[in-house]
Structure 1
Amino acid sequence: MGRILTEKDVEAAVKGGSVYAAGGGGWADHGRMLGHAAVSIGKPELVSIEELDADDWVATAAAIGAPASTTPWEMRGIDYIRAVELLQDALGEPLSGLMVGQNGKSSTLNGWLPSAVLGTKVVDAVGDIRAHPTGDMGSIGLAGSPEPMIQTAVGGNREENRYIELVTRGATAKVSPILRTASDMSGGFIASCRNPVRASYVREHAALGGISLALTLGEAIIAAETRGGSAIIDAIVKTTGGAILAEGEITKKAVVYTKEAFDIGTVTLADGTVLHVMNEYMAVDQNGERVATFPDVITTLSQDGEPLSVGQLEEGMKIFVLHVSKAVIPLASSVKDPAVYPHVEKSMGIELQKYALDMGA
């Protein structure tokens, strides 16, 4: 049966989601805001895809943009709710549930507020267990679809009259950039609800159980917190089925912000381990050998066991590099789609696809 999400689940979702954020940004405080608002005004319910009828409509709740502290972004909880309402109006039928494109510091909780207010279920499915740089990577196989899709976006800085409500229809590849532009115009961060599909499609294509995984990990982290950093790191390794690939001091951080709004570059440790970054950690090389590649989970942890985003890393810091093989996590169809890799490979200047699609490894 479904599980009513409560106050204690909020912190678990944020903490577990932060590990699966894989160095991506997002804001833990934004996640807490969404979660606390949801559990205080209603009873958001987490359900497995099996609890929905095959023909029920499920859409993806997302936050679009890469808000920096320098941008005038403003996103309110109500914006997520409004985005769902606009999509339902455009679809002409109610949505039964919402999934998310990826786990993250706040994205794990994107569906909770609409669930509390509108009654849409929080579907225990994600487009990708971990965070990724392009929407295609979490689009459950819809990225290249010629089918017209509905996408909505809501939000913006009210004081600067940047608030936008947008409903678009068209092939995903054509309308997704419109939402990114709207995000930029709104101040850098906007709530979105998009790509309604039948529950039967989600069952086939999404990474099932992705929200539960984040909650279970968060619960393990919270349980270990009184015992200090090394206990937290042990709990993360054990719960994820991962391993610590490297630990040591950051000797070089060479990450630049590109005009495409991506942080791209490398982070090098004293032992020569190199982390390849495109917003998130996408690959790790040691001694010239590739040892981890997306869709593996790759995360940096502080000595206190705190997941660090790329933006928090500085030369001279001592970090641990967590690696969870793709062999032990549910994988969505989008990460197995060769079409999602070339753009990222070109931007990063490294090979990903041949490692990512080697399902024997």
Structure 2
Amino acid sequence: MAIMKLDEKMVEYAVFGGAVLGGGGGGWIDDGLQIGRLALEIGQPKLYTIDEFDDEDLFVTVSMVGAPAAKDQFVKPVHYAKALEILTQKIGKSVKAIHTNENGAGTTVNGWFQSAITGIPLVDFACNGRAHPTGAMGSMNLSEVEGYISHQAGVGGKADNYVEMSISGSLEKAASLIRKASIEAGGLVAVARNPVTRAYAKSNGAAGAISQAIEVGEALLAHKGEAAIASVVAKLGGTVVTTGEVTDFQLETTGGFDVGTVRINNEHEMTFWNEYMTIEKDGQRFATFPDLIMTLDAKTARPIVTAAIQKGQQLAVIAVPKEKLLLSTTMSNEKLLQPIEDIIKKSILSYIK
């Protein structure tokens, strides 16, 4: 039986709750609302628990890959559907369920449209319960499975930038080439990837991630302003680290990622690699990825992703310890987390051991 019938209110809850759980990444709120509502216009997607499926049933991940701030990005609903079509043709096997790779403003509802037009069930599951920068981090530790062949399809862009890509190979190579395809497509592609059994998914991913996002979104939207922020913090068991003005913001889109820093009141500094990675003040670290760090408008409580930060904004910064999140086994894989240090030039591993 379906855990819930998805409706307009669930779209809003999922998108806004996903935005919080995205930790600064995971796409744009307006994009998430658009594709979630479109799914309801063309069909009636339902959310199923992972226990509704057999251990050998094949699950497929759907995701977005690229840099949210890229100026020439172009991904439409048809691209999501095309990527799934290319992948299913490639593997030649029946897909029993689809799920998103992560929670985020645009990604929590990823799969709803594909489910609505194909009839493939949508499962209350994500590779990771929070957003993350690299494809390998969202691949449920398949990087540790000897001989695993990753099948991935990516579609996006328009006119001369339009890209359709199907790749099979090692997880690292496939993820790298999909990332390069996103650059060629103008900054973003819709992806379908990495078929695995339900048994493997349940052991390595975040079951219940979508219903959690819906609950967080409901907690947020049931209140306004500071009360909404307090409601979300209470729901997740986190804290408000600081509230104040964005006094400095640096962003560079490079290698298919957004990388940069945010300073609040010239005191607290946050680094991000698509998602927020650290927050500290005078050398004191308050939270470190995969802890959740997120910015919300201090007056309206609207989640503000890293790509939308501007100097002068008044923001509240919240943090939630990783122990209180639904996370994949990849979030304890030091080999996958090590590259963060090279990108943001700050220590990560010593804070999460």
| TM-score normalized by the length of structure 2 | 0.93
Within 5 Å, give how 1:197-236 maps onto structure 2. Answer: 197-224=196-223, 228-236=224-232
Deviations 1:104-142 (A, max 9, x none): 111111110111111222221212222122222222102
What is the match of residue 257 of structure 1? 252
CA distance in 2, matches of 1:258, 1:311: 10
Per the alignment, do residues 154 and 95 of structure 1 end up closer, same or farther by CA in structure 2, a change over 3 Å counting? Answer: same
What is the one-letter code of the residue matched to 2:196?
A: V
CA distance in 2, matches of 1:299, 1:256: 16
- Whether 2:243 is the aligned partner of 1:247: answer yes
Within 5 Å, give how 1:282-297 maps onto structure 2. Answer: 282-297=277-292
CA distance in 2, matches of 1:149, 1:312: 33
CA distance in 1, matches of 2:16, 2:45: 19
SS of the equivalent of 1:50 reads: helix
CA distance in 2, matches of 1:229, 1:84: 39
- Whether 2:29 is the aligned partner of 1:28: answer yes
What is the match of residue 330 of structure 1? 326
Per the alignment, do residues 250 and 171 of structure 1 end up closer, same or farther by CA in structure 2, a change over 3 Å counting? Answer: same
Q: Is the 8 A contact 1:83 1:154 kept in 2?
A: yes
- Determine which of 286, 293, 311 is the counterpart of 1:298: 293
What is the one-letter code of the residue matched to 2:279?
A: V
What is the match of residue 133 of structure 2? 133
Q: Is the 8 A contact 1:25 1:310 kept in 2?
A: no
What is the match of residue 183 of structure 2? 184
What is the match of residue 154 of structure 2? 153
SS of the equivalent of 1:187 reads: coil
What is the one-letter code of the residue matched to 1:22?
A: G
What's the offset of the Cα at 1:248?
Answer: 2.0
Q: Is the 8 A contact 2:15 2:32 kept in 1?
A: yes
CA distance in 2, matches of 1:76, 1:258: 21
What's the offset of the Cα at 1:67?
Answer: 4.5
Per the alignment, do residues 89 and 67 of structure 1 end up closer, same or farther by CA in structure 2, a change over 3 Å counting? Answer: same
CA distance in 1, matches of 2:155, 2:292: 30
Listed as ranges, the gaps of 5+ residues in structure 1 are none
Deviations 1:273-297 (A, max 9, x none): 2212222111111342222111111
What is the match of residue 87 of structure 1? 87
CA distance in 2, matches of 1:296, 1:199: 27
What is the match of residue 50 of structure 1? 51
Q: Is the 8 A contact 1:64 1:189 kept in 2?
A: yes
Listed as ranges, the gaps of 5+ residues in structure 2 are none
Cα RMSD (Å) of the superposition?
A: 1.8
What is the match of residue 345 of structure 1? 341
Deviations 1:13-62 (A, max 9, x none): 11111111212261222212211111111121211211111000001101
What is the one-letter code of the residue matched to 2:247?
A: T
CA distance in 2, matches of 1:259, 1:316: 25
CA distance in 2, matches of 1:311, 1:222: 22
CA distance in 2, matches of 1:142, 1:168: 16
| TM-score normalized by the length of structure 1 | 0.91
SS of the equivalent of 1:180 reads: helix
- Whether 2:74 is the aligned partner of 1:74: answer yes
CA distance in 2, matches of 1:288, 1:22: 21
Q: Is the 8 A contact 1:206 1:331 kept in 2?
A: yes
- Aligned length, in residue pairs: 350
What is the one-letter code of the residue matched to 1:247?
A: T
Per the alignment, do residues 186 and 312 of structure 1 end up closer, same or farther by CA in structure 2, a change over 3 Å counting? Answer: closer
What is the one-letter code of the residue matched to 2:195?
A: P
- Whether 2:314 is the aligned partner of 1:318: answer yes
Range that drifts further, 124-133 or 261-270: 261-270
CA distance in 1, matches of 2:107, 2:34: 12
What is the match of residue 8 of structure 1? 9
SS of the equivalent of 1:143 reads: helix
What is the match of residue 104 of structure 1? 104
Per the alignment, do residues 279 and 36 of structure 1 end up closer, same or farther by CA in structure 2, a change over 3 Å counting? Answer: same
Deviations 1:138-169 (A, max 9, x none): 22102354411211112321xx2433322211
Q: Is the 8 A contact 2:251 2:261 kept in 1?
A: no
What's the offset of the Cα at 1:171?
Answer: 0.8
Query: Once the two structures are aligned, what percentage of the paired residues are identical?
Result: 35
What is the match of residue 164 of structure 1? 163
CA distance in 2, matches of 1:67, 1:314: 15
CA distance in 2, matches of 1:259, 1:104: 21
